[in-house]
Amino acid sequence: ETGVTQSPTHLIKTRGQQVTLRCSSQSGHNTVSWYQQALGQGPQFIFQYYREEENGRGNFPPRFSGLQFPNYSSELNVNALELDDSALYLCASSFAGAAGNEQFFGPGTRLTVL
C-alpha cells in the first residue's frame, strides 16, 4: 500500500509569485484535504476535494485554490504569495463513506516566501 506523497519537499518563492504544490493520495482513498501549518502551530484546514469538487473550505482567501484529478491526486495553487504564506503545507487523504474520518498525512511541502 502506497502512502501519501507530496512534491516538492521544499520551495522558495518571492512575494507576489504563484506556486503549485502536488499530492498523491494513499491507495484506495478518494478524498484529499489540504492544511497549512505555521511554525509552532497546529495544522489549519484549507479545503477538501472529493469527486474532483471542493467539499468544504476553511478560512482562507480565494487566492488559495485547488484541483483534484480522476486518479484522486490533487494540486494546491496559491497566487500572489505573501510573507505569511510561509508554512508547511500538508496533504491528507481519506476514504469518503467510511464511518469515521481517519485522515492520513503526507510529509508536507515547506514553502518559504521571501
Partner 1 sequence: QKEVEQDPGPLSVPEGAIVSLNCTYSNSAFQYFMWYRQYSRKGPELLMYTYSSGNKEDGRFTAQVDKSSKYISLFIRDSQPSDSATYLCAMSYSGGSNYKLTFGKGTLLTVNP
What is the binding site for partner 1 (CB under 8 A)? 4, 6, 31, 33, 35, 40-45, 48, 50, 55-56, 58, 88, 90, 92, 94-108, 110
Tell me how far, at minimum, the Cβ of 106 lies from partner 1, in Å.
5
Phi/psi of residue 86, each to 5°?
-65, 120
Residue 52 in contact with residue 70, Cβ under 8 Å?
Answer: yes
Tell me how far, at minimum, the Cβ of 72 lies from partner 1, in Å.
13
Select 69 or 95, whichever has its Cβ closest to partner 1. 95
The upper half-sphere exposure of residue 107, i.e. CA atoms within 13 Å in the direction of its Cβ, equals: 7
